[in-house]
Structure 1
Amino acid sequence: MKKSTTQQKGSPPLFKNQLLEKFTHTHIAYPLLIFYGGGLGLLAYGGVMMGISVINLLVTFTLGLLLFTFVEYWAHRKVYHMIEDKPWKARFTYTFHGVHHDHPKDKSRLAMPPVVSVLIIALLFGLFRLLIGDYAYGFLAGFIAGYATYLFVHYIVHAWRPPQNVFKLLWVHHAIHHYKDNTVAFGVSSPIWDVIFGTMPRKKRT
């Protein structure tokens, strides 16, 4: 994806179909409630109704959270910033990410629509339940809590001024990716994988 030369607040329509276009916009509060609430619900159901131990839930929650940080990094670097050597790739990266780089201040396009969010939770739960059985309750809770945290940090970066707390480090990290060099700083909720794979901004490397 090419580096944007114009970064504006509003963003153009992505689809001619009004229904599809409507689904590309959502208020950040809805997915945060869905994913944080869904994570708490999974933990509560797993512990109370399924009798899963607290230790089990804590360990699997942590593993799910860690996996999300890697998925976030990998998808951002390898999918949303893939080499655009074919027209469909250019269209894909612009629709799902390039428009955000061109219009980073559009608050309505910082998260997936609620309908898509709920569908993804259901699909992931079915997949994890099939693969790891009852461990899916804690694991998916951690995974979607990681996504909600990513959304929250992402929203802070694009909607607020630099906060004077721990979030400032993440604010600066992601701002470098957007406004200085989009070939580094792919981690949003955590820079851990940027450190591991050598994609930290140059000043941070030194």
Structure 2
Amino acid sequence: MKPNHKGRAQIFENPVLERLTRTHIALPISIFILISAGLIYYGLTYGFIDVLEAIGFFFLGWLIFSLIEYSAHRFVFHMDTDTPMKARIQYTFHGNHHEYPKDKERLAMPPIVSVLIASFFFFTFKLIFGPFVFGVVAGLLFGYAMYLFVHYAVHAYAPPKNFLKTLWIHHSIHHYKDPEVAYGVSSPLWDYILGTMPKRQQR
């Protein structure tokens, strides 16, 4: 699919649904940073976690998010499109972004969808981590907010002249050279671990 630097894909014919697919990046970033801070505050205030637990499980949640980000990008957003339905799902969730990578209003899921997914993760991780869920999910949602920030910055701005330039190069390789490598956006960690680093960067 050849990238188009101008224009925007039409995903739904219904104008209401079509409008819901677009969002200003500041909205979800603000929402999830506030929820993340609120979870830490609630957990500490009501004695579910102490300060050290909050810090430790926050970073664990951030690490878990990085794996979720990589896995979703590689195995869901780049699924095999061997049926018309799968092709439609893939294009709706991610293919349109590869076709129009400069569309700044489609660099994040609609907030209502991402809040529902975040709620699912909270109740799932509560079964696994018990009261430590307040730290874990806070880290996970903060990781998502940072992912959104990095993803937007990579597509909207020129590469900076510092160590963050690596992220610009990494994601540009995924978009413009080889979509089957460089799945990590906010971090190349899992590309290193799972063998999907671009060959030039591996050398």
TM-score past 0.5 threshold: yes
Number of the residue aligned with 2:15: 18
Residues in 1 aligned to 2:33 and 2:8: alpha-carbon distance in whole angstroms: 28
Partner of 1:160: 157
Aligned match of 2:185: 188
Could you tell me which runs of 5 or more consecutive residues in structure 1 were left unpaired when the two chains were aligned.
none
Q: Give the drift of 1:51.
A: 4.7
For this pair of structures, how many residues does the alignment match? 203
- Distance in 2, Cα, partners of 1:27 & 1:122: 21
TM-score in terms of structure 1 length: 0.94
Gaps of 5+ in 2: none
Aligned counterpart, 1:59:
56
1:48 partnered with 2:45: yes
Instruction: Evaluate the alpha carbon distance shift between residue 95 and residue 132 of structure 1 in structure 2; reply closer, same or farther with a 3 A threshold.
Output: same
Structure 2 contact 3–101 (Cα < 8 Å) conserved: no
Alignment partner of 1:114 out of 111, 115, 120: 111
Distance 1:51 1:205 in 2: 43
- Describe the superposition over 1:153-190 as per-residue Cα deviations: whole angstroms up to 9, x where unpaired: 10011100111223211111001100111111000011
Contact 2:48 / 2:132 at 8 angstroms: preserved in 1? no
For residues 9 and 201 of structure 2, the distance between their equivalents in structure 1, rounded to whole angstroms, comes to: 34
Larger deviation, residues 21-30 vs 77-86 = 77-86
Task: Give CA-to-partner distance per residue, 1:44-103, whole Å, 9 cap, x none.
Answer: 111112352111111111111111111111111111111111111111111100000000
1:118 deviates by 2.5
Runs of 4+ in 1 over 4 A off after TM superposition: none
- RMSD between aligned residues: 1.2
Instruction: Tell me the equivalent position of 1:73.
Output: 70
TM-score, scaled to structure 2: 0.95
**Are residues 51 and 79 of structure 1, via their aligned partners in 2, closer, same or farther at CA, if it must alter by over 3 Å?**
closer
What is the CA–CA distance in structure 2 between the aligned matches of 1:9 and 1:62, rounded to whole Å? 38
Cα distance in 2, alignment partners of residues 89 and 118 from structure 1: 24
